[in-house]
A and B are shown apart, each in its own frame.
Chain A
């Protein structure tokens, strides 16, 4: 089977606002997928996560306290983050859990019961 969490690059919604694509990692254990997305400067108030038609959309808006001073060197980018993933129907979208810690969004995407690995004991 191919991955259950695919990136969906075809959807180009909200082109009016410019977003940058945050880096992400997906790992799988027996029962769930874990998606981690790096969004430095975003806290849980700045998150918009939605699932529609098996499309998981993540928007992270930065809430950086302004610094009193003039900038003399800049490498960071001011844009907010957005990334869209396509979820396989076997993911139980009703049970997705989200956690935000130090700029990392962790989403736990549980597999529906019928696709979980099952141990069959022979009696």
Chain B
């Protein structure tokens, strides 16, 4: 983003230029803030924590990858109902009572994300791993949803 400075015709002196540049940097920097970068997704201010979720598929599996930094494995809940995968949990606040917060951008508390899966999956074979703050859920496709190759014999 850039701001075009309004220039009145009688302005002659350019003494305040530095200050304007600073202001422009300040305004530019607002758009580098996490708040704005997340705006297109969901604003954390209005909806709590809504972790980014990516969905992949291959012939055998649907794979969901969710950014959940700083969780404990046992605080993550994964459920599957009527073709909807729900990932929820709670991030607990750390640190001692007497600590003074200087800057707080990290979200603490409950969250929930749901995604409706485009194909049927076998709920009994779902597996999940949690590493480097990334949750990966592998959902094997139900047999009837897998693409099938039909052999045609040409005589």
Size category of the binding interface on chain A? 35 or more
Question: How near does chain B come to A54, taking the closest CB pair, in angstroms?
Answer: 17
Is the Cβ of A25 less than 8 Å from the Cβ of B132?
Answer: no
Bound form: Cα–Cα A76–B58 in Å: 19
Residues facing B in A52-74 (CB within 8 A) are: 63-64, 67-74
**Complex contacts, A64 vs chain B, CB 8 Å:** 65, 132, 134
Q: Mark A93-123, 1 if CB is under 8 A from B, else 0.
A: 0000000011110000000000000000000
Tally of chain B residues near chain A (CB < 8 A): 43
Contact A27 B57 (CB under 8 A): no
B23 to chain A, nearest CB (A): 13
Known: A26-B101, A34-B95, A40-B69. 14 other contacts (CB 8 A): A23-B105, A24-B103, A24-B106, A25-B101, A27-B101, A33-B102, A38-B133, A40-B132, A40-B133, A41-B132, A64-B134, A71-B54, A71-B55, A102-B133
Give 10 nearest A-B pairs by CB, closest first: A103-B133, A103-B69, A69-B58, A40-B133, A40-B67, A26-B102, A69-B56, A73-B55, A75-B52, A104-B70
